[in-house]
Amino acid sequence: MAELRPPIESGAPDPMPYMHPVMVKNYGKWAFHSHPKPGVLYHRAESGDEIWTVKAGTARQLDHYSVRELADIADKYADGFVRFTIRSNIEYMVSDESKVEPLIKELNDKGYPIGGTANSVSMIAHTQGFLHCDIPGSDASGAAKAVMDELYEEFIAHEMPNRVKLSTSCCEINCGGQADIAIIMQHTKPPKINHDLVANVCERPSVVARCPVAAIRPALVNGKPSLEVDEKKCICCGACYPPCPPMQINDPEHSKFAIWVGGKNSNARSKPTFHKLVASGLPNNLPRLPEVAEVVKKILYTYKADGKPWERMNEWIERIGWPAFFEKTGLPFTKYHIDDWRGSRVNLNASTHIRF
Ligand code: SF4
Ligand code: SF4
């Protein structure tokens, strides 16, 4: 009988070969951990082994000089072992206490801040942006760098009521996640269709099926098969643009940023929540996005001053109520905050004006 071919493993690789030897040796056998200062964690194993983790922020999109620099630092202090968090922080594991402070000093001297742990503002999680995606309306990773430059002091300190997670998303429909404060690209005008290209480039039935509000239908334009959009129905979501690039929806003036608050992914301590829109129509003013940063700071510092210890952003808003949120932050409440999608009543509870 022929030998069965073994399955090809294509999931996440085995982490053990990449883990610091002290962590491999004590895997699952940790006695306790503590948090000596911002950006530094301490773990003691049942065997008595100790390890310190030092977390540093990076600029996210790293050139290879920076990668080599960070790797050299790992060789010098951390036995060559590092890991990157999903928020693009780099973590060094150090088994010798005398190396912790020199490591922190060298990272700081080279411009990498130490922080992002406990009740700080952690690094912004972001979507792929111009570098890797074909449909972004803005540069999500550049926006993360620009906004974090403004929040540097909150990354290296523990002064927030609880941990604050931020995210940026360069379109509204795909890979963005929930966050305490989420910065999300929104289109505000229906797509502009290049009818000369639609028949050659787009599979029209798939594009029609893609629209969540059935606003697209097949049409003959100038004698050629194309598509048309019922602009009264269109919610400017941008879902038709990926399968049909001639339906261009990115626009330098009308693609805007919006800020959503109060989202939470995990079910740790309290249930997950959807974030909700609190500001919209902010200009896509790259590279520094000053208008976006200003609104983020307004929300953040109001929460910092008004939140009770250990209250997450969503819990703070739940306690004070949405009217007080708008009063305290000074953000205007407009008709655009009202979610009038008919499905929101029964499932999303998605807008800030009322709850069912
Ligand atoms: S958020 Fe949208 S545009 Fe940005 S990387 Fe994800 S799919 Fe692409
Ligand atoms: S932008 Fe969204 S709602 Fe508008 S036509 Fe395209 S898929 Fe439909």
Q: Which of 127, 172, 184, 186 to mutate to test the pocket of ligand 1 (most atoms within 8 A of CB)?
A: 127
Question: Per-residue confidence of the chain (356 residues) as pLDDT tens digits?
Answer: 668 888 777 788 888 999 999 999 999 999 999 999 999 999 999 999 999 999 999 988 889 999 999 999 999 999 999 999 988 899 999 999 999 999 999 999 999 999 999 999 999 998 888 888 888 999 888 888 899 999 999 999 999 999 999 999 999 888 877 899 999 999 999 999 999 999 999 999 999 999 999 999 999 999 999 999 999 999 999 999 999 999 999 999 999 999 999 998 888 888 888 889 999 999 999 999 999 999 999 999 999 999 999 999 999 999 999 999 999 999 999 887 877 766 666 656 666 665 54
Question: Residue 337 has what pLDDT?
Answer: 83
Question: Residue 149 has what pLDDT?
Answer: 93
Distance 233 CA to ligand 2 centre (A): 8
Question: Residue 353 has what pLDDT?
Answer: 60
Distance 355 CA to ligand 2 centre (A): 27
Report the run of H or E that residue 109 belongs to, with start and end. helix 100-109
Report how far apart, in Å, the C-alpha atoms of 204 and of each of 126, 194, 218, 241, 308 are: 31, 13, 7, 12, 53
Distance 90 CA to ligand 1 centre (A): 24
- For residue 211, what are its two tokens? 């629209």
Which atom belonging to ligand 1 lies closest to the Cα atom of 136?
Answer: 3
- For residue 18, what are its two tokens? 């990449």
181 close to ligand 1 (CB < 6 Angstrom): no
d(CA 115, CA 57): 7
Q: Quote the pTM value.
A: 0.89
d(CA 187, CA 236): 6
Say which amino acid occupies 10: S
Which atom belonging to ligand 1 lies closest to the Cα atom of 242?
Answer: 7
Contact of 275 with 263, CB cutoff 8 Å: yes
Question: Residue 308 has what pLDDT?
Answer: 97
Question: Residue 323 has what pLDDT?
Answer: 92
